[in-house]
Structure 1
Amino acid sequence: MASRNKTRLDNAGAPETFRLLGYKRSSLGTPSVFYLPAKKINSEQNSAIRRGLHEFLLSEFGGYTTERGEIHGYWIDGTAIEYDENVKYTVALGNTSKMKALELFVANVGKKLGEKAIYFETGKDSWLIHTGIANG
């Protein structure tokens, strides 16, 4: 019979690892998701911003995932209904101590792209990261 070793999350929040029948599972931590406007982030004019985002997410978090395609956002800005097509970014935080660094970086990317706010979510919460650009 195969050996079954299990190490579960302890009260301090240590990463969970399972060894069962020849495989290992390691927690990557809490996922965080944010959306950037597809036309802006993918434009050649913003290639340096896109490259900086790529390098930051790799160096600080060890990787990320993007989703493109039919990702539409609608929201009310004052009395107008706004719409944009988006690229979804998913990052595993590892631990929540890196959350503020990610928020600050995303806020700066949003500001460089001319966005007033960026939709951000993690775990069960969602919020807007306001970039400091005044409402038009």
Structure 2
Amino acid sequence: MTHEQALAAIRATVEAAPSPLSIAVVDDHGELVACLAMDDAARDTLENARRKAYTAARSDATSTRVLAEKVGSTPTELASFDPQFSFFHGGVAAFAGGRRVGAVGVSGLPGAEDERLAIAAIAAAGLEPPA
């Protein structure tokens, strides 16, 4: 994930956001490339967006929604994951040529809307969302 791709993802999300939110873009290791908390976004949304992106980049699932569905609410299963992982919807892996290159996390809206915006951000960056 290049910084230009990350900035394109952020710009697209800010333009499409129906209300204040936060977005984080990470590389394939889950390390932050760029992030933004919009004016009036709840302050915890920035950390939530970062954790969602980190999870989508580092887990074997292609999104936080898929990972949450995979583990369900089994306490033992949830406890075995990286403590930085998030099971809230809105983190989506980004691919280039079939290779995971990073992820986008969006936070501040209902989970399905966060995920929809993350997928649109990935497309705006010229990358591929999960198949």
TM-score for the superposition, normalised by structure 2: 0.26
Point out the structure with the larger strand share: 1
TM-score for the superposition, normalised by structure 1: 0.25
Point out the structure with the larger helix share: 2
